[in-house]
């Protein structure tokens, strides 16, 4: 497939991974930096991937330019509010639009889709992240500040079928992750873009979200270094494990994914989505997430176990997982 993909923000940390992944897959990246004339940059492109944050400033103009060009648009935003803005403003657009096709927003959405697939009613979803460390990029810090300013410094949580503002300190508890991670201290109500992508097509009244406490401490540390490459690909040594638990009545299903480097793994996620859409799979017009467009297990399996290892054991309610003291 000799396709040309415009990459907005190609020179950034995640952008470089995306350019490399496109080249590895035999596609031609068209790098586009900040300040580029978007209509000119997208002319002759078959699709656009936006990885230029903060996305509250770039997503709208880039989507409008993609609509004018008549090409699919994908982005890797982790900004919860931007996902909501995209659905509100472009839901009936005439091109495929995929927000948050990334580690945050995309991976959890795929796992939640797999976990809930047998259920007609989903009473509760939990998504728990275990990161060995979190060395945030400058882009992560900038987008985090933008999101916090939009919330007036408050937290948010998905309860009663929608995102609600929370004040005060986030709850803390423990979560027992699958081996080799095991029992870890976690911070509750750590909301990511998954709490915007998942409810767009899965009806659930509540999404519990947890992040390991060590990763939250890293994120909040102003002196935490940016990611350091550990090999020729540019990936760091950071590892991750994401567990999604879906409950319906007395039934529980768990799906997990693990891998290395939350920034690097965004590239195969968004590029796989672009490749499939250009081939006609999941290419319906309008805004829809990864989980809404694709078979989740087939999608993740296609990436290969060296990228993401997925486990899908079915479990019944009453088995270990949620620890006493975990916030409801």
Instruction: Tell whether the torsion through CA atoms of 215, 51, 100 and 22 is positive or negative.
Output: negative
pLDDT average, residue stretch 200-205: 97
Sign of CA dihedral 77, 81, 87, 89: negative
Of the ranges 16-25, 28-37, 69-78, 274-283, which one carries the lowest mean pLDDT score?
28-37
Q: How far is CA 267 from CA 18, 34, 45, 193, 221, in A?
A: 5, 19, 18, 17, 26
Instruction: Return the DSSP state at 267.
Output: H
Mean pLDDT of the chain: 92
CA quadruple 317, 319, 321, 327: dihedral sign? positive
**Closest listed residue to residue 143, CA positions, set 76, 235, 62, 241:** 76
- How would residue 7 be classed by pLDDT, with cut points 50, 70 and 90? very high
Omega prior to 251 cis, within 30 of 0: no
Q: Is 270's pLDDT higher than 60?
A: yes
State pLDDT tens for residues 132-176: 999 999 889 888 887 878 877 788 999 999 999 988 889 999 999
Residue 174: is it exposed, middle or buried by C-beta count within 10 angstroms (0-12/13-18/19+)?
middle
- pLDDT of 317 above 50: no
So what's the pLDDT on residue 2? Answer: 83
Please say whether the beta carbons of 108 and 244 come within 8 A. Answer: yes
Provide the pLDDT confidence category of residue 225 given band limits of 50, 70 and 90: very high
Which among 202, 177, 197, 156 has a CA at the least distance from the CA of 288? 197
- Rounded to whole angstroms, the Cα distance separating 84 from 316 reads 33
Strand pairing category for 251-260 and 239-248? antiparallel
Segment 289-304 mean pLDDT = 97
Work out the percent of the chain whose per-residue pLDDT is above 70.
Answer: 95
Helix (H) or strand (E) holding 270: helix 266-278
Per-residue pLDDT, 122: 96
Q: Which domains does the chain have, with CATH numbers?
A: 4-103+268-290 (3.40.50.720), 105-264+304-316 (3.30.360)
Residues paired with 49 in a beta bridge: 7, 74
pLDDT in tens, 60-97: 999 999 999 999 999 999 999 999 999 999 999 999 99
Closest CA to 106 of 220, 239, 262, 305: 262
User: With 50 as the cut, is the pLDDT of residue 319 above it?
Assistant: no
* pLDDT at 155 (0 to 100): 86
Residue 63's nearest CA partner among 2, 4, 143, 8 is 8
Does residue 318 have a pLDDT over 90? no
Looking at residue 313, what is its pLDDT? 62
Other Cβ atoms less than 10 A from the Cβ of 328: the count is 8
Residue 151 CB-density burial (10 A; 0-12 exposed, 13-18 middle, 19+ buried):
middle
For residue 152, the model assigns a pLDDT of 77
């Amino acid at each position: 497939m000799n396709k040309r993909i415009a990459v907005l923000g190609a020179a950034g940390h995640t952008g470089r991974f995306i350019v490399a992944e496109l080249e590895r897959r035999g596609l031609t990246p068209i790098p586009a930096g900040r300040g580029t004339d978007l209509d000119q940059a997208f002319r002759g492109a078959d699709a656009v991937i936006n990885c230029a944050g903060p996305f509250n400033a770039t997503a709208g103009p880039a989507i409008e330019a993609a609509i004018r060009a008549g090409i699919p648009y994908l982005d890797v935003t982790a900004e919860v509010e931007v996902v909501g803005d995209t659905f509100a403003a472009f839901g009936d657009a005439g091109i495929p639009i995929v927000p948050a096709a990334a580690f945050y927003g995309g991976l959890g959405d795929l796992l939640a889709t797999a976990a809930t697939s047998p259920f007609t009613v989903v009473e509760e979803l939990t998504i728990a992240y275990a990161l060995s460390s979190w060395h945030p990029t400058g882009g992560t810090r900038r987008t985090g500040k933008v999101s916090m300013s939009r919330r007036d410094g408050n937290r948010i949580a998905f309860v009663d079928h929608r995102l609600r503002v929370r004040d005060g300190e986030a709850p803390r508890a423990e979560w027992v992750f699958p081996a080799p991670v095991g029992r870890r201290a976690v911070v509750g109500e750590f909301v990511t873009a998954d709490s915007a992508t998942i409810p767009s097509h899965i009806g659930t009244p509540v999404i519990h979200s947890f992040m390991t406490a060590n990763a939250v401490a890293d994120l909040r540390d102003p002196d935490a270094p940016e990611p350091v490459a550990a090999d020729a690909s540019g990936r760091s040594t950071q590892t991750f494990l994401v567990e999604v638990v879906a409950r319906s009545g007395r039934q529980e299903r768990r799906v997990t994914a693990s891998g290395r480097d939350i920034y690097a793994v965004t590239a195969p996620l968004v590029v796989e989505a672009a490749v499939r859409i250009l081939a006609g799979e999941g290419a319906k017009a309008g805004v829809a997430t990864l989980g809404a467009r694709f078979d989740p297990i087939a999608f993740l399996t296609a990436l290969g176990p060296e990228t993401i290892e997925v486990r899908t054991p079915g479990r019944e309610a009453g088995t270990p997982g949620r620890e006493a003291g975990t916030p409801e």
